[in-house]
Amino acid sequence: MNWAVIGWVALGVLIGAVIGFFVSKKLFEKQIKDNPPITESMIRAMYGQMWRKPSEAQIRQIMKSMQQ
């Protein structure tokens, strides 16, 4: 096999990996912007809409379950 062919293939793979990295990074940032992660204040607001006062233990339990 010709070394030039191997070089071009390696260059193509490298360029594809770099482009793929930046495209996936951009898509991930867009997803985070459109759908931000849930916060403790959001959990408190949801409980408030259900006319309930959550305890700190309940909030910590929900936050822990969301991280899994």
Please spell the DSSP secondary structure of 1-68, one letter per residue.
--HHHHHHHHHHHHHHHHHHHHHHHHHHHHHHHHSPPP-HHHHHHHHHHTT----HHHHHHHHHHHH-
67: pLDDT strictly greater than 80 = no
1: pLDDT strictly greater than 90 = no
The 10s digit of each residue's pLDDT in 3-34 is 999 999 999 999 999 999 999 999 999 998 88
Confidence of residue 53 (pLDDT cuts 50, 70, 90): confident
- Cα 14 to Cα 32: distance, rounded to the nearest angstrom: 27
